[in-house]
Amino acid sequence: MRLISLFMMLILLSAAPAMAQEVTGTVKVIDGNTFELNGTKMRLFGINAPPLEQICKTERKEKEYPCGKLAARALYLLVSGRTVRCLPRHEGGPQPVAAVCYLGRSNINKYMVVQGWALANRAEEPGFIRDEQAAQQVRDGFWKGGRVPPW
Q: What is the pLDDT along the chain (151 residues), one digit of tens a residue?
A: 454 443 333 333 333 334 468 999 999 999 999 999 999 999 999 999 999 999 888 877 778 889 999 999 999 999 999 999 999 997 656 779 999 999 999 999 999 999 999 999 999 999 999 999 999 999 888 888 765 555 4
pLDDT, position 129: 95
* 113: Cβ contacts below 8 Å, ≥ 6 apart: 47, 119, 120, 128, 131, 132, 135
Determine the CATH number of domain 18-143: 2.40.50.90
* 63: Cβ contacts below 8 Å, ≥ 6 apart: 57
Task: Record the pTM.
Answer: 0.82
Angle at 117 between CA 109 and CA 33, to 5 degrees: 50
The distance of Cα 1 from the centroid of its chain, to the nearest Å, equals 47
